[in-house]
Amino acid sequence: VGALGACGEFPRGFELGVRTGFAWLSYSESDAEHAITVRRAIEQRGMIVADDRDTPAFGEYVKRCGIFVAVLAQRYQASAQCRAEAMLARRLGKTVMMVMAEDFVISEDWLSHMIGVPPRTPRLLETLPSCVTWMRSSRPVETP
């Protein structure tokens, strides 16, 4: 897992957990092993992480979270649940952090639009700008 995004760490000055409440961890159940790694990294920074896979009320978690963390992998983009979570977070203007769990081809337009790369991009990890690791609504936030 490129555990905390393209730069390998949280952006400088980003105080995870200080002002944001808890993080909602969004991932495909098939990628649980990657999610565990990401969860530990976030918890080590003192933040509470929620990822209750068994609740029908995931929307409430997304509404209340301070940061939305998506564990991106091939199966993430194919999951209707993951898409619903990500689109809700974006619609609500949540801070969204995309964590690259594996290199894959973007085949879904919704994910392509959300992360700002062309559809059918063959090498995702090489395509993402190296220092853009999270977004606020639709605006990329550059790290110094």
- Residue whose tokens read 């991106």: 72
Share of the chain above pLDDT 90, in %: 9
11 within domain boundaries: no
Measured in degrees and rounded to the nearest 5, phi and psi for residue 140 equal -65, 145
Q: Is the pLDDT of residue 74 over 80?
A: yes
- Domain count for the chain: 1
- Global pTM reads 0.70
Asked if residues 14 and 132 have their Cβ atoms less than 8 Å apart, the reply is no
Domain that holds residue 136: 23-142
CATH number at residue 117: 3.40.50
14 within domain boundaries: no
5 within domain boundaries: no
Task: Say whether 15 sits in a helix, a strand or coil.
Answer: coil
84 within domain boundaries: yes
8 within domain boundaries: no
Amino acid (one-letter) located at 102: E
Residue-wise pLDDT for 4-36, tens only, equals 333 334 444 445 444 457 888 999 988 888 889
d(CA 133, CA 130): 8
Count of alpha carbons within 13 Å of 49, Cβ hemisphere only? Answer: 20
* Predicted local distance difference test score (pLDDT) of residue 9: 43
105 within domain boundaries: yes
6 within domain boundaries: no
13 within domain boundaries: no
